[in-house]
C-alpha cells in the first residue's frame, strides 16, 4: 500500500494550472486572478457624504448645542446622483442626502438628527468638526493603486470591488470542465429496480461535488460494462474536458473495464500514464490516477462513501490546483472525541465520518453513523472526516485531527 501523502503529492505534481482567460465578472466567483489588478480610477471618485444631513462650513457651527443652536440659511438641496450647482458660503447650508457629492465651500456634514428645520433655515444643535461624515475622494481605493494581487481567489466582495473600479471582465485561471462518468451493469438512473440493480447515486453526488469545488460539471451519464462503450465515453471526455472522474471499475475484478480501457488509451496517446494504487486509507483504498495527454483522470472507487472520500482527498485538491488555488486542501482542526472512536491496527489511516461542533472553546466530534463504505447516509450527516492513525483509535476526551467538510 502507498501512503496517502505520497499519493496526494504525485497527483498535485501532475496537474497543471489551466491557461488564463477573460471571463465576465458575473462568472468569476471563486476563480483566481491570473494578473494583478490596478485601479484606473479612485473610489469614491469624489468626496461625498456618509449621512443624510446638511453640508456646512465647520467654522459656522462653533458653539452650537441643543440649548443654543446655530441658525444657517438653507440655499439648496442635493440628492445623490446630482452634481452640486452652487457652493456653501458663510452662514449657509445645503440639505444633502447620503452619497451625494460634497459641494464646494463645505468641509463637514451635520447629521439630520442633530438639526431642526425652521422655515428656510436650519437650526444646528451640535458643533461640527472639519471632515465630519465626509468620505474623501480615493478614500477606499486610490487611482493607480494595486487592488488585488495575482493569485487572489475572488469572493463576492472581491467582485464588488472590481465592479466599483469599472472592471467588466476578470483575467483569471479558467474554471475546469470536469466530466463525470459512472460505470456498471448494476446501475439504474430512473424507474423501478430489477433484481440485482441499484440506483446510480455516485454520479449525481460527484457532479454536485465538482460544482461545489468551483468547477463546471459535465454529465457523461452512466455506461454499462461494455469496453467499446466505455472507450467511446472516455475518449470523448478526454477530447472535450479538462479533467475526468470515473466511478467504479478500478479494482481488480474481472469486470473492471475502466482499468482496461484507460491502460489501452494511455498506450495510444502521447504523454499518457496511469498508476493503480492501493492507498493506505479506509475507506477509498483503491484509486487510479493518470493522464490522457494533458487531461487528468481520477478513477474513484464504486462504493459511494469511498467515492466521496476519494474525491475529497485527491480530485478536489487537484481541481483547485488547476484553478490556481494556493489552498487546495480542506482545513483541519484539533478536536476532542465526544464518544469513543475505536478501530483495529491494520497499517491504514481511517477517515471516519463525523459530526463536528464548537463548544466551550474547542471543537468536538462524534461519528455521524455507521462507517461502512456503502452507508452514504452517514456521509450526508457528517461535516468532517476524523483522521484516525494506525492503532486502536481514541477514547472519549482524547484529541484527534479532523478535516472540516463545511
Cα separation, 96 vs 77, in Å, equals 6
CB atoms near residue 44 (< 10 Å): 17
CA distances, 13 to each of 7, 272, 299, 324, 395 (Å): 10, 15, 17, 13, 37
Please tell me what DSSP assigns to residue 312: I
Is there a cis peptide before residue 44, judged by omega within 30 degrees of 0?
yes
CA distances, 111 to each of 73, 96, 160 (Å): 16, 10, 28
**Nearest by Cα to 70 from 84, 83, 57, 81:** 57
CA distances, 92 to each of 69, 89, 372 (Å): 14, 5, 78
Cα separation, 299 vs 286, in Å, equals 9
Specify whether the backbone of 341 is left (phi greater than 0), alpha (psi in -120 to 50) or beta. beta
SS3 at position 389: coil
CB 132 within 8 A of CB 108: yes
Cα separation, 239 vs 216, in Å, equals 16
Residue-level pLDDT, tens digit, the chain, 406 residues:
999 999 999 999 999 999 999 999 999 999 999 999 999 999 999 999 999 999 999 999 999 999 999 999 999 999 999 999 999 999 999 999 999 999 999 999 999 999 999 999 999 999 999 999 999 999 999 999 999 999 999 999 999 999 999 999 999 999 999 999 987 766 667 777 777 766 778 899 999 999 999 999 999 988 778 889 889 999 999 999 999 999 876 655 545 688 888 989 999 998 899 999 999 999 999 999 999 999 999 999 888 999 999 999 999 999 999 999 999 999 999 999 999 999 999 999 999 999 999 999 999 999 999 999 889 999 999 999 999 999 999 999 999 999 999 8
CB 159 within 8 A of CB 223: no
Cα separation, 298 vs 295, in Å, equals 10
Would you call 402 exposed, middle or buried from its count of C-beta atoms within 10 A (0-12, 13-18, 19+)? Answer: buried
pLDDT at position 182: 87
114-127 burial, b at 16+ Cβ within 10 Å, e below that, comes to bbeeeeeebbbbbb
Would you call 219 exposed, middle or buried from its count of C-beta atoms within 10 A (0-12, 13-18, 19+)? Answer: middle
Please tell me what DSSP assigns to residue 317: H
Measured over the CA atoms of residue 96, residue 98, residue 104 and residue 108, the dihedral's sign is positive
- Global confidence as pTM: 0.87
Instruction: Give the DSSP per-residue string, 179-198.
Output: EEEEE-TTEESSSPPPTT-E
Q: Which residues contact 204 (CB under 8 A, 6 or more apart)?
A: none
In angstroms, how far is CA 179 from the centroid of its own chain? 20
pLDDT at position 255: 55
**Nearest by Cα to 309 from 366, 243, 241, 384:** 384
Q: What are the pLDDT digits (tens) for 151-195? A: 999 999 999 999 999 999 999 999 999 999 987 766 667 777 777
Cα separation, 150 vs 172, in Å, equals 9
**CA geometry: angle at 394 spanning 389 and 395, to 5°?**
180
SS3 at position 392: coil
Phi first, then psi, for residue 300 (nearest 5°) are -90, 155
Q: Which three cell numbers stand for residue 70?
A: 446655530
Strand-pair category, 92-96 with 53-56: antiparallel
End-to-end CA distance of the chain: 30
Cα separation, 124 vs 71, in Å, equals 6
Cα separation, 320 vs 17, in Å, equals 9
Q: What are the structural domains of the chain?
A: 4-18+174-322 (3.40.980.10), 21-43+139-173 (3.90.105.10), 48-135 (2.170.190.11), 332-404 (2.40.340.10)
pLDDT at position 189: 74
Amino acid at each position: 500500500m502507498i501512503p496517502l501523502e505520497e499519493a496526494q503529492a504525485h497527483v498535485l505534481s501532475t496537474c497543471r494550472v489551466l491557461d488564463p482567460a477573460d471571463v465576465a465578472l458575473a462568472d468569476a466567483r471563486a476563480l483566481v486572478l491570473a494578473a494583478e489588478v490596478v485601479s484606473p480610477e479612485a473610489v469614491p471618485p469624489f468626496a461625498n457624504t456618509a449621512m443624510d444631513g446638511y453640508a456646512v462650513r465647520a467654522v459656522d457651527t462653533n458653539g452650537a448645542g441643543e440649548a443654543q443652536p446655530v441658525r444657517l440659511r438653507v440655499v439648496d438641496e442635493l440628492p445623490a446622483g446630482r452634481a452640486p450647482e452652487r457652493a456653501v458660503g458663510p452662514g449657509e447650508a445645503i440639505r444633502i442626502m447620503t452619497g451625494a457629492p460634497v459641494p464646494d465651500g463645505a468641509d463637514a456634514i451635520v447629521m439630520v438628527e442633530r438639526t431642526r428645520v425652521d422655515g428656510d433655515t436650519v437650526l444646528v444643535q451640535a458643533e461640527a468638526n472639519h471632515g465630519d461624515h465626509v468620505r474623501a475622494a480615493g478614500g477606499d481605493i486610490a487611482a493607480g493603486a494595486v487592488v488585488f494581487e495575482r493569485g487572489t481567489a475572488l469572493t463576492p466582495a472581491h467582485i464588488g470591488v472590481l465592479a466599483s473600479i469599472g472592471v467588466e471582465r476578470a483575467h483569471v485561471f479558467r474554471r475546469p470542465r470536469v466530466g463525470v462518468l459512472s460505470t456498471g451493469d448494476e446501475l439504474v438512473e430512473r424507474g423501478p429496480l430489477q433484481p440485482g440493480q441499484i440506483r446510480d447515486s455516485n454520479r449525481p453526488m460527484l457532479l454536485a461535488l465538482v460544482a461545489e469545488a468551483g468547477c463546471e460539471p459535465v454529465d457523461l451519464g452512466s455506461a454499462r460494462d461494455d469496453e467499446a462503450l466505455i472507450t467511446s465515453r472516455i475518449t470523448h471526455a478526454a477530447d472535450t474536458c479538462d479533467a475526468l472522474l470515473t466511478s467504479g471499475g478500478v479494482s481488480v475484478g474481472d469486470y473492471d473495464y475502466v482499468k482496461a480501457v484507460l491502460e489501452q488509451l494511455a498506450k495510444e496517446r502521447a504523454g499518457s500514464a496511469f498508476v493503480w494504487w492501493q492507498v493506505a486509507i479506509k475507506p477509498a483504498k483503491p484509486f487510479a490516477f493518470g493522464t490522457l495527454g494533458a487531461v487528468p483522470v481520477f478513477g474513484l472507487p464504486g462504493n459511494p462513501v469511498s467515492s466521496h472520500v476519494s474525491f475529497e482527498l485527491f480530485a478536489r485538491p487537484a481541481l483547485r490546483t488547476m484553478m490556481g488555488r494556493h489552498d487546495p486542501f480542506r482545513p483541519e482542526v484539533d478536536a476532542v472525541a465526544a464518544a469513543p472512536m475505536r478501530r483495529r491496527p491494520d497499517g491504514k489511516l481511517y477517515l471516519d465520518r463525523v459530526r463536528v461542533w464548537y463548544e466551550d472553546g474547542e471543537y468536538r466530534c462524534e461519528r455521524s453513523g455507521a462507517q461502512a463504505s456503502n452507508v452514504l447516509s452517514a456521509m450526508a450527516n457528517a461535516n468532517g472526516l476524523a483522521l484516525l492513525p494506525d492503532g486502536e483509535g481514541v477514547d472519549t476526551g482524547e484529541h484527534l485531527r479532523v478535516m472540516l467538510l463545511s
